[in-house]
Structure formats: structure tokens, C-alpha cells
Structure 1
Amino acid sequence: MRRQAVTSSNISEVGYDENSRTLEVLFSNGSLYQYFDVPPQIYAELERAGSIGQYLNANIKGNFRYARV
């Protein structure tokens, strides 16, 4: 999956695969997580968020299945 760099104190890169609806988040500490069944609109909102980390915590963590890769 191709990821893009983001401006965030805790997140380095994010990527999204529309076919599998998988969001991939690379944290600044090197941890890589995949979140499953994420709708495209949620990823679009994440990209536009003023704070990627706050959006992730408020709208993605705890709402979607995930795995550390």
C-alpha cells in the first residue's frame, strides 16, 4: 500500500486502499497499524483534518478493527 507523509507530532504516514477499505497508519515511533473496513469518507475526513492524531483518536481508534503489522 502506498502511504503519504503527513504533518503530525505522532504520525509519519497514512495510506488507504479503497478496494479492501484498509487504512494504514505509520506512527513516528515506527509502529505500523492497519484499520479495517474504513469507509472512504472517513479517510477523506482524516486527510482534511486539522489534526490527524486527534481525528484518528476521536473517529477511528475504538471504532474499527485493527492489527499491528
Structure 2
Amino acid sequence: MLRTRVDSSNIATVGYDEEQRVMEIVFRDGRVYHFLEVPPERVLSLLRAESKGRFFNSEIKDAFAYRAVGRRWR
């Protein structure tokens, strides 16, 4: 999975597996979530958004099924 660090107060990295259409969000507190069936253009929109957190909350959080994966520690 390709992961990208982002400039956000809440989100640390965004990853995407295009074959599986799974987007991984790692929050700064270490929580990791996989969002399912996310189209690649939605991931690009998140990465290009001026506010990643605002875009996540309005366009991703309640729009896609997800699963908690665990925690990552810095």
C-alpha cells in the first residue's frame, strides 16, 4: 500500500491500495482505519484538499464502510 504523509492536525498519513480499493487513514494519535470501496479519485481529492480533516469528515467518514485496524505508535 502506498502511503503519503499529509499536512493535517488530525491525519498523519493516507494510504491507498488501488487493487483492493481500500484507503487507509492513520490519525496522529495512532488510530488506523481502512475505508472500503473508495474510488481513486476520492483519495486524490482528499490529498488535494486544503483541509484534509474537513474533507475527511464531510466526504469520507460517513460515506464508506470502514474497519478499525488498530494503533500505530510513533
Normalising by structure 1, what TM-score? Answer: 0.96
2:52 corresponds to which residue? 52
- Alpha-carbon RMSD: 0.7
Name the SS for the 2:7 alignment partner: coil
| Off by >4 Å, runs of 4+ in structure 1 | none
Partner of 2:66: 66
Q: Does 1:33 pair with 2:33?
A: yes
Q: Residue in 1 aligned with 2:42?
A: 42
What SS is found at the alignment partner of 1:47? Answer: helix
Match of 1:6 in 2: 6
The answer for unaligned runs of 5 or more in structure 2 is 70-74
Deviation at 1:4, TM superposition (A): 1.3
Unaligned runs of 5+ in 1: none
Length, aligned pairs only: 69
Q: Which has the higher strand share?
A: 2
Distance 1:48 1:12 in 2: 15
Alpha-carbon offset, residue 63 of structure 1: 0.7
Relative to the length of structure 2, the TM-score reads: 0.89
**Identity of counterpart residues, as a percentage?**
45
